[in-house]
Structure 1
Amino acid sequence: MKNEFSDEDKKWEVLNSEYLIRRPWLTARKDKVRLPSGVVMDEYYVLEYPEWVNVIAITTEGKFLMERQYRHGLQWIGYEICAGVCEKGETPLEAAKRELLEETGFGGGEWTPHMTISSNTSTVTNLTHCFVATGVERLSDPHQEATEDISIHLLSREEVRELLVNDQIRQSLMAAPLWKYFAEHHLL
């Protein structure tokens, strides 16, 4: 199939940008853009976020370290893997290790980059860097923030598989790396 445009020819030209809100957890802007075809869109909304990280953490005993917490958007309580934000000056790996220790008290082990994904390439500016940490151990008590109410659970491979198969992990940025992990390790 012949490509009529180079990748550069497919980019939209930003004619104007206006920030609608700039808060610590929500930055939204409205762009006026011109498409390569010449069509002008007066309102195209973009959400800006810092880089995110998440971790599939597996203990020395082979248990998956899972978190359970309330998520207000869906008004839902469910299982998740550890996740968080990259702070200024942190590499994604440093942020992932910090988040795991803060949220769960676990750390150490062998760390490998797993995948880098986007929650929505159409309207969101950041990426989520996913890691697998094997052989993690409890190093301290969790140091959760005042707004975090997270319970920690050690689940077997079979229990995590059942959560996935039965659509009990609703956060796509957490389900995707778990599905990939299970597929790569022939655990489906």
Structure 2
Amino acid sequence: MTRRLRPWTVLESRELLDAEPFLKVHVETVELPDGRVIRDYYQFDMPSFACIFAETEDGRIIVYRQYRHGPRRVNLTFPGGHLSPGEDPLEAARRELLEETGFVSDRWTALGGYTVNANQGGALSHMFHAAGCRRVAEPSSDDLEETEILFMTRQELVGAIARGDIALLTQIALVSMVWQDEIREAAAAGQAAAVPDP
């Protein structure tokens, strides 16, 4: 029988930093189910974002090469960006894909929204797969990042992942969600190859 786990109770929440729209920091006093009280549990509020695995009509994946200040290096990422307040995640994904790449798609699959940080909260990453993307305009993004747009084959993207060219966990998670069957088959083949013959 599965034991019923109880959530923590927030006894108090105090704002420490308001750098809206990018970051708010709170410190909470929380009570655990066993009665223990933790007085300094920090929480982050950050804008949620859409992350898009976009494939063109000829099966190439739209990828950016750009500097990201979190990992402090140039790496590969997928199109995406922050949701505006009250914006539907799919509408944000459609908007970001068009602004950043000039591409649109009529075949969208929502893959879910996931909390980025397990303990401090932060943002939700809304994952999408857009297939059959076609160009209808020039990119018009006003992001801070210098961006090089690449159109990669699956083999090229797999090679880039193997070299460590993707530094962000959300991006690796998105590839895994879209390619779950291929990844499972590759893992099984790798495990079979690692097992010595009797």
Q: Residue 160 of structure 2: which of 159, 163, 168 is its match?
A: 163
Determine helix, strand or coil for the equivalent of 1:160: helix
- Paired position in structure 2 for 1:96: 93
- Confirm whether residue 74 of structure 1 aligns to residue 71 of structure 2: yes
Matched, 1:12 2:8: yes
**Amino acid of the residue matched to residue 105 of structure 1?**
G
Q: Is the 8 A contact 1:17 1:30 kept in 2?
A: yes
Instruction: Give the unaligned 5+ runs of structure 1.
Output: none
Cα separation, partners in 2 of 1:122 and 1:164, compared to 1, 3 Å: same
In the alignment, the residues of structure 2 paired with residue 180 and residue 107 of structure 1 have an alpha-carbon distance, to the nearest angstrom, of 21
| 1:28/1:46 contact within 8 Å kept | yes
How well do the aligned residues superpose, as a CA RMSD in angstroms? 1.7
1:148 Cα deviation from its structure 2 partner: 2.9
1:64 deviates by: 0.2
**2:71·2:167 contact (CA, 8 Å) conserved in 1?**
no
CA gap 1:45/1:20 in 2 versus in 1, 3 angstroms: same
Q: Which moved more, 1:114-123 or 1:57-66?
A: 114-123
CA spacing shift, 1:141–1:19, aligned 2, 3 Å: same
Runs of 4+ in structure 1 deviating by more than 6 angstroms, as ranges, are none
Percent identity, aligned pairs only, is: 32
Aligned-partner Cα distance in 1 for 2:152–2:169: 19
1:173 paired residue among 160, 166, 170: 170
Of the candidates 106, 128, 135, which is equivalent to residue 109 of structure 1? 106
Q: Which moved more, 1:118-127 or 1:96-105?
A: 118-127
- 3-state DSSP class of the match of 1:30? strand
CA distance in structure 1 between the aligned counterparts of 2:106 and 2:74, rounded to whole angstroms = 29
Q: Please list every run of 5 or more consecutive structure 2 residues that lacks an aligned counterpart in the other structure.
A: 187-198
Aligned counterpart for 2:17 among listed residues 16, 21, 29: 21
Alignment of 1:38-49 (within 5 A): 38-49=35-46
Aligned residues: 184
What CA distance in whole angstroms lies between the structure 2 residues aligned with 1:56 and 1:92? 14
